[in-house]
Amino acid sequence: MSALFSPRSDALLKLVLGLLAGGAIATLGGFMLYVRTPYGVSQNEQLVQPVMFDHRHHVQDDLIDCRYCHTTVEKAPSAGIPSTGTCLACHSQVWNKSPLLDAVRASWFTGKAIPWTRVNQLPDFVYFNHAIHVNKGIGCAECHGRVDQMASIEQAQPLNMGWCLQCHRDPVPRLRPLDQITNMKWQAPANQAEVGARLAKQYDVHARVSCTTCHR
């Protein structure tokens, strides 16, 4: 009686087993790598917004401070998306016939809100609070990047938990004076370790890493 399996089948079996094990590891590893890529965390993703709002123009050319539109950033968890009324405070006077602003005027006259697409999106179980960050010396640009150079807003940082914790474990390198919070061009000085430590003391910075700091 001939053998049930040819001598080659042993190697084949090893190959299949190897592929299965390798495939499993590669799949798992692939997913773990994927969620760490900028694509996986939606970093720098270009999004279409209902109004082609250009931060470059408003920040650089018009020198409008962030807080003019994002009014509640210093006192509330949410920085606040400007109301249609805020847009039209200026645009009822300037560019009041521009077709680019059709959607804004339509919103005003119909009373229907502008449906912006969220750019910096955190999971529902994360409770981020703008007020505490900007009051303790974390500038807008630390998380939002150089908004003054963005034609359309994109997510500048990974916004995953590891990235948050970098700063929560050691905020000193990123602390800036409170009068520089909205300054997009601020650069850390050469002696930031020293300045930051002083600021941390001055502002009583206690970056917490307990789970319920953000997850409630």
Q: Which is nearer to another protein, 186 or 203 (CB)?
A: 203
The residue (of 7 and 125) whose beta carbon lies closer to another protein is 125
Shortest Cβ 167–another protein spacing (Å): 16
> Six-digit token pair at 34?
């994927």
Burial of 137 (0-12, 13-18, 19+ CB in 10 A): buried
**Is the Cβ–Cβ distance between 182 and 66 less than 8 Å?**
yes
Upper half-sphere CA count for residue 1 (Cβ side, 13 Å): 3
**Residue 2: CB minimum distance to another protein, A:** 36
Chain residues in the site for another protein (CB under 8 A): 40, 42, 47, 72, 75-78, 80-86, 107-108, 111-118, 121, 123-125, 127, 129, 131-132, 135-136, 204, 206, 208-213, 215-216
**Measured from the CB of residue 129, what is the shortest distance to another protein in angstroms?**
5
Token match 């995953």: residue?
160
Reading the block at residue 53, the tokens are 């709002």
Distance from C-alpha of 198 to C-alpha of 186, rounded to nearest angstrom: 18
Nearer to another protein, 119 or 195 (CB): 119
**How close are the terminal C-alpha atoms of the chain, in Å?**
70
Is the Cβ of residue 178 or residue 197 nearer to another protein in the bound state?
178
Q: Please, which residue, 170 or 194, has the CB nearer to another protein?
A: 170
Residue number, 107 or 182, with CB nearest to another protein: 107
Q: What are phi and psi of 175, to 5 degrees?
A: -80, 140
Minimum CB–partner distance for residue 113 and another protein (Å): 4
- CB of residue 208 to another protein, shortest distance in Å: 7
Q: Tell the residue number behind the tokens 């009583």, with chain if given.
A: 204
Give the separation between CA 179 and CA 186, rounded to whole angstroms.
11
Smallest separation, CB 23 to another protein (Å): 13
